[in-house]
Structure 1
Amino acid sequence: MNTDKIRQDIRGLSDGKIFLNNAGSSLMPSVVVDSMINYLQQEEQLGGYEVADRNAKHLEEFYDETATLIHSKPSNIAFATSATEAYTMALSSIVFKEGDVIITTADDYISNQITFIFLQKKMNIRVIRMKNLQDYELDLDDLEILIKKYNPKLVAVTHIPTNSGLIQNVEGVGKICRQYDILYLVDACQSVGQMVVDVQKIGCDFLTATGRKFMRGPRGTGFLYVSDKLLEQNYAPLLLDMRGAKWSAFDDYELFDSAKRFEHWELSYASLLGFTEALKYANTIGMNHIEEYNKKLSQTLRSNLQNSGFHVWDLGNHLSSIITFSGPGGDLENIQKVLKENNIFFSVTYKNSALIDFTRKNISGIVRLSPHYFNTREEIETVSELLKQSLL
Structure 2
Amino acid sequence: MNIEQLRIDTPAVAQLIHFNNAGAALMPAPVIEVMTRHIQLEASLGGYEAAGKQSAELENVYCAIGQLINAQPDEIAVIENATRAWDMAFYSLPLQPGDVVLTSPTEYAGNYIPYLQLKQQRGIEIRVIPNDEHGQVSLSALKDMLDDDRVALISLPVIATNGGPVQPIEQIGALARAAGVLFLLDACQGVGQMPIDVQKIGCHMLAATSRKYLRGPRGMGFLYVERSLCQNLEPVFLDLHAASLQTAHRFKIRADARRFENWECNVAAKLGLGAAVEYALAQGVEPMWQRIQQLAGYLRQRLTGIPGFTPRDLGIQKSGIVTFTHRDSSAAQLQQWLAGQEKRINVSTSTFRSTLLDMQHRDLLEVSRASLPRTTLKQKSTQWLPR
TM-score interval, normalised by the smaller of the two chains: over 0.9
1:262 corresponds, among 255, 260, 263, to 260
1:132-151 → structure 2 map (5 Å cutoff): 132-151=131-150
Q: Is the 8 A contact 1:94 1:235 kept in 2?
A: yes
Residue equivalent to 1:348: 349
Hey, which of these two has a bigger chunk of helix by percent? 1
Change (3 A) 1:53 1:333: closer
| Structure 1 position 84 matched with structure 2 position 83 | yes
Q: Is the 8 A contact 1:218 1:275 kept in 2?
A: yes
Provide, for residues 126-185 of structure 1, a one-character-per-residue CA deviation record: whole Å limited to 9, x for no partner. 111111112112112221222222522211011000001411111111101100111110
Q: Percent identity?
A: 34
Say if 2:218 is the partner of 1:219: yes
Match for residue 302 of structure 1? Answer: 300
* TM-score, normalised with respect to structure 2: 0.94
For residues 338 and 357 of structure 1, what CA distance do their matches in structure 2 show?
Answer: 27
Residue 374 of structure 2 corresponds to 373
Deviation at 1:93, TM superposition (A): 1.5
Tell me the TM-score normalised to structure 1 length. Answer: 0.93
In structure 1, distance between residues paired with 2:133 and 2:164: 17
1:206 corresponds to: 205
Between 237-246 and 290-299, the greater mean CA deviation after superposition: 237-246
Runs of 5+ in structure 1 lacking a partner?
385-392
What is the CA deviation profile of residues 203-224 of structure 1, one whole-angstrom value per residue up to 9, with x for unaligned ones? Answer: 0110000000001000011100
Quick check: 1:326 aligned with 2:328?
no
Are the equivalent residues in 2 in contact too, given 1:157–1:170 (CA < 8 A)? no
Say if 1:380 and 1:174 are closer, same or farther in 2 by CA, change over 3 A.
Answer: farther
Paired with 1:252 and 1:130, the residues of 2 have a C-alpha distance of 43
Structure 2 counterpart of 1:390: none
Any runs of at least 4 consecutive aligned residues in structure 1 with deviations exceeding 4 A, and if so which? 380-384
Q: Do the aligned partners of residues 284 and 375 (structure 1) sit closer, same or farther apart at CA in structure 2, a change above 3 Å counting?
A: same
Q: How does 1:50-65 map to 2 (within 5 A)?
A: 50-65=49-64
Query: 1:378/1:69 Cα in 2 relative to 1: closer, same or farther (>3 Å)?
Result: farther
Work out whether 1:276 is the aligned partner of 2:277. Answer: no
Task: Please name the residue that 1:162 is paired with.
Answer: 161
Task: Tell me what 1:9 maps to.
Answer: 9
SS of the aligned residue for 2:240 comes to coil
Change (3 A) 1:363 1:330: farther
Q: Is 1:314 aligned with 2:313?
A: yes
Q: Structure 1 pair 56/144, CA: closer, same or farther in 2 (3 Å)?
A: same
Distance (whole Å) between structure 2 residues aligned to residue 333 and residue 154 of structure 1: 37
1:247 is displaced (CA, Å) by 2.1
Is the CA contact (8 Å cut-off) linking 1:300 and 1:380 kept in structure 2? no
For residue 96 of structure 1, report the CA deviation from its aligned partner.
1.9
Q: Give the letter aligned to residue 353 of structure 1.
A: S
- Distance in 1 between residues matched to 2:134 and 2:380, nearest whole Å: 32
23-32 vs 113-122, which moves further:
113-122
Partners in 1 of 2:330 and 2:245 — Cα distance? 59
**Deviation digits for residues 297-341 of structure 1 (CA, Å, limit 9, x no counterpart):** 111111111122321110110100000001126743553344122
How many residue pairs get aligned? The number is 382
What's the CA shift for 1:13?
2.6
Deviates more, 1:143-152 or 1:353-362: 143-152
Which structure 2 residue ranges, 5 or more long, are not aligned? none
User: CA contact under 8 A between 1:101 and 1:127: conserved in structure 2?
Assistant: yes
Task: Give the deviation of 1:72 after TM superposition.
Answer: 0.9
Helix, strand or coil at the partner of 1:114? helix
The aligned amino acid for 1:218 is P
Q: Which amino acid aligns with 1:274?
A: G
Calculate the aligned-residue CA RMSD, in Å.
1.8
Question: In the alignment, which residue of structure 2 is the partner of 1:46?
Answer: 45
Q: Deviations over 1:261-317 (max 9, x none)?
A: 111011111110111111110010110111111111111111111122321110110
